[in-house]
């Protein structure tokens, strides 16, 4: 889902309800936002470290967007995968790369009730993001929302609890397949 859609909140609710779900901690070159903890929300690394990891084929997928690099360190993801379901909070380019390498993946797109609602949420987030960054994220969100057709499921985040439950239901249905 696009930046500002509330993925973090929805994922937080889901993980509380199902403690066996493991979160894949991405590496990023962007600066931490207020409240973000290194090693928990992201591994905050330098561009140099990121490029070294690309060279070492240490990413399951990676992409450059929002003027920063983002990637899923393969080792931590595969270790978590051995223990159960792993949740990756990644952009469409990354998700399609993952689908190539791990065809058993389920791709779920979280969408806002409307584009206008997303704009309102992104502007209201109040985490000190500059106007030009907000505009960049909104442009990107339009493109991401177009990609949702290629996902296995599209879930509307009209209410965080309901949205989290819908995703948990998708996961348990998959387990009973
Ligand atoms: P944010 O900077 O708001 O935390 O994340 C911006 C975008 O980057 C979101 O769409 C998020 O899902 C995506 N993202 C976060 N981690 C990764 C990653 O490891 N790989 C890819 N491809 N995208 C990521």
pLDDT tens across 33-61, in order?
999 999 999 999 999 999 999 999 999 99
CA 7 to ligand 1 centroid distance, Å? 10
Task: Say what the pLDDT of residue 177 is.
Answer: 85
Mutate to test the pocket of ligand 1, among 7, 11, 26, 67 (most ligand atoms within 8 A of CB): 26
What gap in Å lies between CA 65 and CA 53, rounded to an integer? 17
Is 3 touching ligand 1 by the criterion CB < 6 Å?
A: yes
Task: Say what the pLDDT of residue 126 is.
Answer: 66
CA 89 to ligand 1 centroid distance, Å? 6
Whether the pLDDT of residue 137 is over 70: the answer is yes
- What b/e readout covers 22-41, taking b as 16+ CB neighbours within 10 angstroms? bbbbbbbbeeeeeeeeeeeb
Q: What are the C-alpha distances in Å from 155 to residues 151, 163, 164?
A: 10, 7, 9
Q: What is the pTM of this model?
A: 0.93
Closest CA to 102 of 130, 129, 74, 70: 74
One DSSP character per residue, 96-136 reads HHHHHH-TT---EEEE-S-HHHHHHHHHHT-S---HHHHHH
pLDDT confidence tier of residue 96, bands split at 50, 70 and 90 = very high
Q: Residue 137 burial (CB < 10 Å; 0-12/13-18/19+)?
A: buried
pLDDT tens column, 54-95:
999 999 999 999 889 999 999 999 999 999 999 999 999 999
Looking at ligand 1, which atom is closest to the CA of residue 2? 10
Whether the pLDDT of residue 176 is over 80: the answer is yes
């Amino acid at each position: 889902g696009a930046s500002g859609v509330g993925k973090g909140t929805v994922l937080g609710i889901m993980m509380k309800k199902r403690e066996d779900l493991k979160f894949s901690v991405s590496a990023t070159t962007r600066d931490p936002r207020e409240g973000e903890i290194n090693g928990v929300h992201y591994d905050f690394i330098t561009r140099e470290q990121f490029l070294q990891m690309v060279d070492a084929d240490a990413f399951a997928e990676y992409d450059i967007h929002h003027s920063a690099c983002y990637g899923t360190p393969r080792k931590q993801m595969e270790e978590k995968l051995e223990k159960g379901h792993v949740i990756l909070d990644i952009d469409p380019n990354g998700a399609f790369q993952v689908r190539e390498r791990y065809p058993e993946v389920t791709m779920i797109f979280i969408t806002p009730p409307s584009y206008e609602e997303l704009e309102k949420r992104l502007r209201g987030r109040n985490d000190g993001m500059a106007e030009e960054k907000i505009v960049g994220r909104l442009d990107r969100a339009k493109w991401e929302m177009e990609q949702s057709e290629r996902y296995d499921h599209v879930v509307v985040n009209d209410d965080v609890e309901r949205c989290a439950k819908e995703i948990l239901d998708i996961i348990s249905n998959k387990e009973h397949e």
